């Protein structure tokens, strides 16, 4: 070894300082346990990375650091690339070997810091640097995050749309680990695989009010699968506003609107009549349209039939892609608060619809209870994500033991104008 041996008298001091945290050294000659510097541990360890100038490591191969037999042990290893991405790894219980357990990024510069302890308890350290080679394939996995930048309600999920299908669970885990969501204030959350090309992220509960949510991908240069590497993706930042919740009791024909937990309005409404019952469950505001032409033919009602309609509708707040809105319905004011006469939408007076339209934003929560209708779909017809309980939501993550749940979201692309 290329350092001055220490005596066993420093062991107790070393143990004390190690308990204080990483990077703290053994006792110095002046009696201050923080004054000594770790020795150069180059002679104690072996590394399987490139050591010659100009040589690049194969990102397909794991990193490995070993302690030379009989000369001490490894106490810690950190490996990080120049963008701040860490490499996960495992250290043997006896400190003899550390190896990476997550893939390296291609065409990246890495710094590996190895902490050691010799047979006398003296700490050592070695910093290693190397570059990885470029990907062998030009096939890249891109990710598009949604929604667009802006301010949303506390029910707004984050979406990640992939441009290649990912079916293998191990590959899904690579992708999922690289998709980062950070909120301020921080709240627990998880990704859920909707299908092979789309993931949704939501917290256990709704987002905090006035939160900042930052989303980015660390996939660039990371090998996902055979001949498929992660590509660059545009990050996303959104914020949340107040917590607006509109709860419609279809049996009582009343909507109660809450702001940050406090009731701010009660509105008489009408919901879907028999055969056209409004869906129960939590929905999220998708869009607001001042004017929409609503026709029965767009939701499967035969033209000229008793239920046929073709109406100009104002102050329309959309909550499903299949045509469910909260909107002005001046033709049914006499039934609002007393009976359900609509074709599935929630109707109210023009003045109430204007107030609702001006109060809510995309991502706000619209919940229906006590309807005789079906439950809101989790995926494919808007954002029904909050109708999945937390345990099942977590089971839809590749990092847990569940499987993706729900229908393919491709139906969401078939946007229909409306039901009234």
Positions annotated as catalytic residues are 327, 345
Question: Are 301 and 308 a contacting pair, CB within 8 Å?
Answer: yes
Could you give the CA distance from residue 313 to residue 294 in angstroms, rounded to a whole number? 7
Could you give the CA distance from residue 158 to residue 75 in angstroms, rounded to a whole number? 39
Residue 51 CB burial class (10 angstroms; 0-12, 13-18, ≥19): exposed
Q: SS3 string of the chain?
A: CCCCCCCHHHHHHHHHHHCCCCCCCCCCCCCCCCCCCCEEHHHCEEECCCCCCCCEECCCCCCEEEECCCCCEEEEEEEEECCCCECCEEECCCCCEEEECCCCECCCEEEEEEEEECCCCCEEEEEEEEEECCCCCCCEECEEEECCCEEECCCCCEEEEECCCCCCHHHHHHHHHHEEEEEECCCCEEEEEEECCEEEEEECCCCCCCCEEEEEECCCCEEEECCEEECCCCCEEEEECCCEEEEEECCCCEEEEEECCEEEEEEECECECCCCCCCEEEEECCEEEEEEEEEHHHHCCCCCCCCCCEEEEEEEEECCCCCCEEEECHHHCCCCCCCCCECCCEEECHHHHHHHHHHCCCCCEEEEECCCCCECCCCCCCCCHHHCCHHHHHHCCCCCCCCCCCCCHHHHHCCCCCCC
The β-bridge relationship of strands 150-152 and 236-240 is parallel
Could you give the CA distance from residue 38 to residue 138 in angstroms, rounded to a whole number? 43
Could you give the CA distance from residue 36 to residue 39 in angstroms, rounded to a whole number? 9
């Amino acid at each position: 070894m290329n350092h001055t041996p220490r005596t066993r008298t420093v062991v107790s001091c070393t143990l004390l300082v190690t308990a204080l945290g990483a990077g703290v050294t053994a006792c110095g000659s002046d009696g201050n346990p923080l004054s000594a510097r770790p020795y150069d541990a180059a002679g104690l360890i072996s590394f399987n990375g490139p050591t010659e100038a100009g040589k690049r490591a194969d990102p397909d191969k794991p990193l490995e650091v070993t302690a030379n037999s009989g000369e001490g042990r490894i106490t810690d290893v950190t490996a990080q690339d120049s963008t701040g991405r860490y490499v996960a790894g495992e250290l043997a219980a006896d400190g003899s070997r550390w190896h990476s357990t997550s893939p390296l990024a291609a065409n990246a510069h890495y710094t590996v810091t190895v902490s050691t302890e010799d047979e006398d308890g003296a700490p050592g350290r070695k910093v290693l640097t190397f570059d990885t080679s470029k990907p062998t394939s030009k096939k890249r996995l891109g990710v598009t995050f949604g929604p667009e930048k802006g301010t949303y309600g506390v029910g707004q999920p984050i979406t990640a749309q992939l441009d290649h299908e990912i079916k293998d669970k191990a590959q899904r885990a690579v992708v999922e680990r690289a998709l980062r969501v950070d909120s301020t204030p921080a709240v627990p959350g998880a990704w859920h695989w909707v299908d092979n090309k789309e993931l949704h992220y939501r917290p256990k509960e709704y987002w905090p009010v006035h939160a900042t949510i930052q989303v980015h991908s660390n996939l660039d240069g990371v090998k996902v699968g055979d001949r498929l590497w992660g590509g660059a993706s545009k990050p996303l930042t959104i914020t949340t506003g107040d917590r607006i919740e509109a709860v419609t009791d279809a049996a009582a024909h009343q909507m109660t609107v809450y702001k940050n937990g406090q009731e701010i309005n009660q509105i008489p409404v009408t919901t879907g009549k028999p055969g056209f019952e409004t869906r129960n469950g939590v929905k999220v505001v998708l869009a607001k349209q001042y004017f929409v032409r609503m026709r029965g033919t767009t939701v499967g009602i035969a033209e000229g039939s008793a239920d046929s309609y073709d109406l100009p509708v104002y102050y329309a707040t959309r909550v499903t892609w299949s045509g469910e809105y909260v909107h002005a319905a001046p033709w049914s004011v006499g039934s609002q608060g007393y009976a359900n006469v609509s074709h599935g939408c929630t109707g109210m007076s023009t003045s109430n619809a204007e107030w609702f339209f001006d109060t809510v934003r995309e991502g706000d929560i619209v919940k229906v209870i006590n309807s005789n209708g079906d439950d809101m779909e989790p995926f494919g017809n808007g954002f029904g994500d909050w109708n999945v309980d937390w345990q099942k939501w977590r089971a839809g993550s590749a990092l847990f033991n569940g499987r993706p749940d729900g229908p393919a979201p491709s139906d969401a692309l078939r946007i229909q104008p409306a039901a009234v």
